[in-house]
């Protein structure tokens, strides 16, 4: 369990942690000289059960709220500290606002310096503190009056902390690894070391991680917790990581960076979020107002984008977009805090809805419906809504990354919802209903195309997709057609889709013409006549005969081998057999065009044209001036 202190400057937070743990968290010389905390401090207390109770001591001065925010981003509980003599002060209020915005719901209210005031004053501060807490996420937490120098009241506080640390289950280490860096330094003989908190998953020695948003691949050389080497760290634990990697030095990383599984590395400068403006604000937050985003340990300037002309009133909540000056890495559900442009006042905060913003306009009904779907309580509920709203398919890789779902967790959701996954090349998720509708619609439209033009060889996939008015990407639509073809419900022949067995020449007029042309094509000696010669013999316009033979060739008979000549399939097989025999007679299986000419009896020019055709369909392979048989002719003609 990790507990962060919170409260006004000089209210005794650091002394309280020191008394509980024996560790002075003020490590910087300036902190020693000035007697105030400037940066984050860390201390640990081992529970009777052997678990570690970690403390993050945050600075209380208003100038260092940025550091305070970095310290409370991954805590399990807060220890609100108020001095009995001062009572509630401005930073007490702001720290509580921040904890409420971050959704921290477990905590301990501590009244310090009780030895300096009468009991009535302690009671007065207790009541004021309980009243202040009543309106937020920490309402109803226990209050502990203490005196750190004398130890009065500390036993009850410590017992409560240890009891919770032993009782609260460790965070489930589900999902892929994500670690927020709050400090970077170098150690002689070890190199670069970072400290921070494991947000998600687990990190083991030897793990390969990505530094994000910088995009630097790194390896974990070692892990320490409270100065002790361990083999792995889990979600909800603080640890130090010794890192290695090409291009790594102390300046390569900094507070605000993440170490995470490579699949989660999706830097962005836009976030769609649910934002709540504090009720204490004096005026509305308008479109393009400058803000400072605090997310994880990062602090990034940016602007808030609401509907042009609109604004967010104090106390209101709305879906807005954050446009940032530099990239961040975030996941769905991450909590954040916004401060003003000068980073001197907390404005509000909320939750990340979509960390990967599409190019779709922000305020279209379709996009707003998607964002509302993403706000559903769980990944499964969100995906169920999304596939209903997005017939073009849901990008599953992006969805899994946004919700930090590993393969097993994602698979459970897909099975529960009956999601149909189309993988070509990206994985798209469709509802079973939409997938079935598309298949049925494709079959019906092919039937209509044949009815409109029986002489057509079919319909091109692009035209079919356009007629169905589907927004499914062309590659995914092609996968659906391929599946229907594998089931023999459609045929894909060249550039056309048709019904199985469809004959574009299956009408009396074409049948009569084919009956007249067939005997001439069978008179191969060794090749049938040219197209013009056939037309002249049949006393037909060349265009009429060409149209028939082209349409019939879509079904595989006849075969267009040369620009001006169609061959029956049996003729092609016979000419291919000459090539195979020529290759078999050669010592190395390689033969020339001249050798093929002599065996087949065709002219030199025809031999070259035939062999070029065989090269195109993959029956032969050219090797300089020679060729070899590449695969059986039956396979090549498919």
Give the model confidence (pLDDT) of 420-440 as tens digits.
999 867 899 999 999 999 999
Across all residues in the chain, what is the average pLDDT? 89
Residue 286 confidence class, pLDDT cut points 50, 70, 90: very high
Encode pLDDT of 66-94 as tens digits. 666 776 777 889 999 999 999 999 989 99
| Residue 64: per-residue pLDDT | 47
Q: What is the pLDDT of residue 29?
A: 54
The dotted CATH code for 178-264 is 2.40.30.10
Residue 205 pLDDT grade (very low, low, confident, very high; cuts 50, 70, 90): very high
E-strand stretches of 464-534: 491-493, 496-498
pLDDT of the residue at 66: 66
Query: What mean pLDDT comes out for the span 223-229?
Result: 90
> In the CATH scheme, what architecture does the domain 570-636 have?
Orthogonal Bundle (1.10)
The yes-or-no verdict on residue 507 having pLDDT over 70 is no
Q: Is the pLDDT of residue 169 over 90?
A: no
Mean pLDDT of 282-288: 93
The domain 434-498 is placed in CATH, from the list 2.60.40.1190, 3.40.47.10, 1.20.1060.10, 1.10.10.10, at 1.10.10.10
Q: Label residue 39 by pLDDT band (50, 70, 90).
A: low
Calculate Rg over the CA atoms of the chain. 37
> Burial level of 318, CB count in 10 A (0-12/13-18/19+)?
middle
First to last CA, the chain: 66
Q: Tokens 């640990």 belong to which residue?
A: 44
Specify the pairing of strand 317-328 against strand 268-277: antiparallel
Question: Per-residue pLDDT averaged across 624-638, rounded?
Answer: 90
Residue showing tokens 């964002």: 371
Query: What pLDDT band is residue 394 in, cutting at 50, 70 and 90?
Result: very high
**Nearest CA-CA partner of 73 in 371, 295, 368, 397:** 295
Q: 585-588: list long-range contacts, CB under 8 Å, 24+ apart.
A: none
Domain boundaries 268-354, CATH class? mainly beta
The confidence score (pLDDT) of residue 31 equals 43
Considering the chain, tell me which residue range(s) the CATH 2.40.30.10 domain(s) occupy: 178-264, 268-354
Distance CA 196, CA 213 (A): 16
Per-residue model confidence as pLDDT tens digits over 523-537:
877 888 888 988 888
| Angstrom distance (rounded) from CA 142 to CA 111 | 11
Rounded CA-CA distance 553/491 in Å is: 15
Residues 63, 339: Cα–Cα separation, whole Å: 13
Q: What is the average pLDDT across 543-550?
A: 82
**Ranges 105-119, 426-440, 540-554, 611-625: which has the least confidence:** 540-554
With a CB cutoff of 8 Å and minimum separation 6, the contacts of 33 are: none
Lowest mean pLDDT across 35-39, 154-158, 178-182, 211-215: 35-39
Of the given ranges (111-115, 146-150, 523-527, 534-538), which has the lowest mean pLDDT? 523-527
Model confidence at 509: pLDDT above 80: no
Please list, in sequence order, all residues whose beta carbon lies within 8 angstroms of the beta carbon of residue 311, skipping any fewer than 6 positions away. 284, 285, 286, 287
Q: Find out whether 622 and 593 touch, Cβ atoms under 8 Å.
A: no
Which has more confidence, 48 or 583?
583
Which class does domain 508-567 fall in? Answer: mainly alpha
Q: Containing H/E element for 166?
A: helix 154-167
Which of 158-172, 562-576, 581-595 has the weakest average pLDDT? 158-172
pLDDT at 518 over 90: no
Counting residues of the chain whose pLDDT is more than 70, the rounded percentage is 93
Portions of the chain given CATH number 3.40.50.300:
2-167
Candidates 3.40.50.11780, 3.40.50.1000, 3.40.50.720, 3.40.50.300; CATH matching 2-167: 3.40.50.300
Kindly report the length of the chain. Answer: 638
| Structure-token pair, residue 237 | 């634990």
Those residues whose C-beta lies under 8 Å from the C-beta of residue 105, and which sit 6 or more positions away, are 137, 138
Tell me what the mean pLDDT of segment 617-621 comes to: 93
Q: pLDDT value at position 44?
A: 86
Q: What is the pLDDT of residue 529?
A: 87
pLDDT of residue 520: 86
Which range of 15-19, 125-129, 361-365, 528-532 scores highest in mean pLDDT? It is 125-129
Residue 106 clears pLDDT 90, i.e. is over it: yes
- Can you tell me the distance from the alpha carbon of 498 to that of 447, in angstroms, rounded to the nearest whole number? 8
Name the phi and psi angles at 597, rounded to 5.
Answer: -55, -45
517 pLDDT exceeds 90? no
How far is Cα 554 from Cα 550, in angstroms, rounded to an integer?
Answer: 7
* pLDDT tens per residue across span 252-279: 999 999 999 999 999 999 999 999 999 9
Note the pLDDT of residue 58: 77
Predicted confidence at residue 63, as pLDDT, reads 53
What was the pLDDT predicted at 403? 96
What is the pLDDT confidence band of residue 190, given thresholds at 50, 70 and 90? confident
Query: What pLDDT is stored for residue 32 in this prediction?
Result: 44
The pLDDT tens digits of the residues spanning 328-377 come to: 999 999 999 999 988 788 999 999 999 989 876 677 888 999 999 999 98
Residues in Cβ contact with 478 at an 8 Å cutoff, skipping those fewer than 6 apart: 424, 461
> Tell me, what's the pLDDT at 344?
82
Task: Supply angle C-alpha 454, 455, 457, rounded to 5.
Answer: 100
Q: What is the mean pLDDT of residues 372-385?
A: 95
Predicted model pTM: 0.78
């Amino acid at each position: 369990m990790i507990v962060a202190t919170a409260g006004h400057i000089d209210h005794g937070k650091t002394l309280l942690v020191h008394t509980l743990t024996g560790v002075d968290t003020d490590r910087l010389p300036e902190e020693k000289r000035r007697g105030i905390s400037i940066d984050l401090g860390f201390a640990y207390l081992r529970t009777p059960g052997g678990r570690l109770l970690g403390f993050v001591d945050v600075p209380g001065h208003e100038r260092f709220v940025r550091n305070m925010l970095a310290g409370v981003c991954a805590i399990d509980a807060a220890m609100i500290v108020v001095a009995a003599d001062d009572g509630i002060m401005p930073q007490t209020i702001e720290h509580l606002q921040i904890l409420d915005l971050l959704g921290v719901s477990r905590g301990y209210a501590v009244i310090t310096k009780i030895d300096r005031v009468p009991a009535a004053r302690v009671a007065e501060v207790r009541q004021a503190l309980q009243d202040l807490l009543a309106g937020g996420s920490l309402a109803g937490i226990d209050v502990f009056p203490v005196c750190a120098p004398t130890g009065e009241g500390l036993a009850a506080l410590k017992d409560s902390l240890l009891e919770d640390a032993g009782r609260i289950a460790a965070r489930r280490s589900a999902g892929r690894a994500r670690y927020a860096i709050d400090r970077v330094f170098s150690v002689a003989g070890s190199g670069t070391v970072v400290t921070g908190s494991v947000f998600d998953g687990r990190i083991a020695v030897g793990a390969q991680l990505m530094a994000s948003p910088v995009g630097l691949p790194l390896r974990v050389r070692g892990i320490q917790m409270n100065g002790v080497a361990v083999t792995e760290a889990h979600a909800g634990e603080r640890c130090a990581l010794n890192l290695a990697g090409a291009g790594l030095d102390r300046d390569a990383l900094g507070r605000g960076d993440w170490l995470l599984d490579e699949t989660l590395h999706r830097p962005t400068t836009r976030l769609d979020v649910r934002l709540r403006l504090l009720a204490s604000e004096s005026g509305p937050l308008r479109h393009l107002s400058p803000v400072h985003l605090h997310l994880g340990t990062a602090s990034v300037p940016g602007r808030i984008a609401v509907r042009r002309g609109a604004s967010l009133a104090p106390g209101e909540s709305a879906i807005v977009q954050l446009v940032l000056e530099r990239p961040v890495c975030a996941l769905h559900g991450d909590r954040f805090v916004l401060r003003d442009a000068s980073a001197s006042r907390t404005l509000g905060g909320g939750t990340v809805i979509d960390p990967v913003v599409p190019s779709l306009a922000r305020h279209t009904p379709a996009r707003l419906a998607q964002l509302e779907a993403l706000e559903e309580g769980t990944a499964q509920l969100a995906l169920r809504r999304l596939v209903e709203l997005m017939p073009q398919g849901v990008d599953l890789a992006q969805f899994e990354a946004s919700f930090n779902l590993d393969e097993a967790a994602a698979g459970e959701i897909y099975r529960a919802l009956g999601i149909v996954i189309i993988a070509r090349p990206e994985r798209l998720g469709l509802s079973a209903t939409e997938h079935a509708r598309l298949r049925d619609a494709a079959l019906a439209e092919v039937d209509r195309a044949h009815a409109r033009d029986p002489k057509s060889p079919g319909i091109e996939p692009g035209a079919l997709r356009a007629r169905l008015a589907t927004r499914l990407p062309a590659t995914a639509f092609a996968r659906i057609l391929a599946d229907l073809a594998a089931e023999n419900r459609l045929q894909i022949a060249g550039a056309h889709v048709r019904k199985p067995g469809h004959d574009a020449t299956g009408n009396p007029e074409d049948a009569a013409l084919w009956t007249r042309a067939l005997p001439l094509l069978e008179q191969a000696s060794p090749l049938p006549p040219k197209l013009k010669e056939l037309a002249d013999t049949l006393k037909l316009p060349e265009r009429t005969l060409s149209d028939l033979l082209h349409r019939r060739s879509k079904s595989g008979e006849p075969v267009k081998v040369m620009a001006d000549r169609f061959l029956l399939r049996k003729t092609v097989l016979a000419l291919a057999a000459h090539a195979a025999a020529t290759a078999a007679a050669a010592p190395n299986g390689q033969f020339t065009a001249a050798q093929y000419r002599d065996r087949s009896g065709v002219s030199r020019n025809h031999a070259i044209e035939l062999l070029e055709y065989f090269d195109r369909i993959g029956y032969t392979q050219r090797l300089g001036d020679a060729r070899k048989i590449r695969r059986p002719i039956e396979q090549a003609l498919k």
